[in-house]
Amino acid sequence: MNVDPRIIVPAWPAPPGVHAAFTLRQGGVSQAPYDSFNLGDHVGDDSQAVEANRAALLRRLSLPTDPLWLHQMHGCDIARGRGDCEADGVVVDEPGKVCAIMVADCLPVLFSTRDGSRVAAAHAGWRGLAAGVLENTVASMGQAGDDVLAWLGPCIGPDSFEVGEDVRSAFVDQDAGTSGAFLHWRPGHWLADLPALARRRLGAVGVRSVYGGHWCTYKERENFFSYRRDGVTGRMAALIWMAAPG
């Protein structure tokens, strides 16, 4: 894969033949407020600009095929080897198929089995996390948690993600141990740590080899789109695929 300075390449021990990337907001043709490498075709951007950015993505990453774009619903349904459907995760076991998740504050999570036979991507906002999107993704991979690696991509950070009591209750009522991922901020409001919540949920299903999770999309305006910060904005993508043989 060609390394581009406008791409984050995950630092994790992925097996040979497994490639992953996360796009930054620079290097595209979209105009403000989608400037400039917006990959979302559902946010109000000019469709020709999005098409041009997606074409550039294929070239920039030398992707083997078009990504399996999903209609993300903030839920916990997982697609198997296909895109263009309502789901918040996708699992593939076929080389050359590219898993893709779009985000602009929600947490993207990439997965690989240790033997490189399956890869997956999940869109984990707080609703999806609470509903079990990560657990469902791991289950769909068909291997024990100890045999799965996970990478947490850029999301809104724990100093910026203010939530109400309803969000905290959605986790703490299921698992009292998640209370440590919430810092009381003001009456009825908390600062939530999405990566910490993800690590907790992944650990519960045996996935303990978890990497990444140290960016903040809200604070790092130059690099990332942020829905919480800007409202109308673009989308970045997290992608993972297995190289085709030969």
Q: Can you give the CATH number for the domain in which 120 is found?
A: 3.60.140.10
Quick check: is 88 in a domain? Answer: yes
The C-alpha atoms of residue 55 and residue 169 are separated, in whole angstroms, by 42
pLDDT at 246 over 70: no
Residue 190 lies in a domain: no
Q: With helix as H, strand as E and coil as C, how does the chain read?
A: CCCCCCEECCCCCCCCCEEEEEECCCCCCCCCCCCCCCCCCCCCCCHHHHHHHHHHHHHHHCCCCCCECCECCCCCCEEECCCCCECCEEEECCCCCEEEEEECCCEEEEEEECCCCCEEEEEECHHHHHHCHHHHHHHHHCCCHHHEEEEECCCCCCCCCEEEHHHHHHHHCCCHHHHHHEEEEECCEEEECHHHHHHHHHHHCCCCEEEECCCCCCCCCCCCCCHHHHCCCCCEEEEEEECCCC
27, part of any domain: yes
Q: Is residue 169 part of a domain?
A: no
Residue 140 lies in a domain: yes
Please report whether residue 176 resides in a domain. Answer: no
- The answer as to whether 72 is a domain residue is yes
- For the chain, percent of residues with pLDDT exceeding 70: 98
Range of the domain at 149: 7-156+198-242
How far is the C-alpha of 140 from the C-alpha of 13, rounded, in Å?
21
Q: Is 179 domain-assigned?
A: no
User: Is 36 a residue whose pLDDT tops 60?
Assistant: yes
Q: How does pLDDT run across 153-209, given as a tens digit for each residue? A: 999 999 999 999 999 999 999 999 999 999 999 999 999 999 999 999 999 999 999
Round to whole Å and give the CA distance between 163 and 11.
30
What is the model's pTM? 0.96
Per-residue pLDDT of 88-100, as tens digits, reads 999 999 999 999 9
User: Cα–Cα distance between 62 and 128 in angstroms, integer?
Assistant: 30
| Domains of the chain: total | 1
Contact partners, residue 39, CB within 8 Å, separation at least 6: 23, 50, 53, 54, 57, 102, 234, 235, 236, 237
Supply the pLDDT for residue 1. 47
| 4 pLDDT more than 70 | yes
- Give tens-digit pLDDT for 49-91: 999 999 999 999 999 999 999 999 999 999 999 999 999 999 9
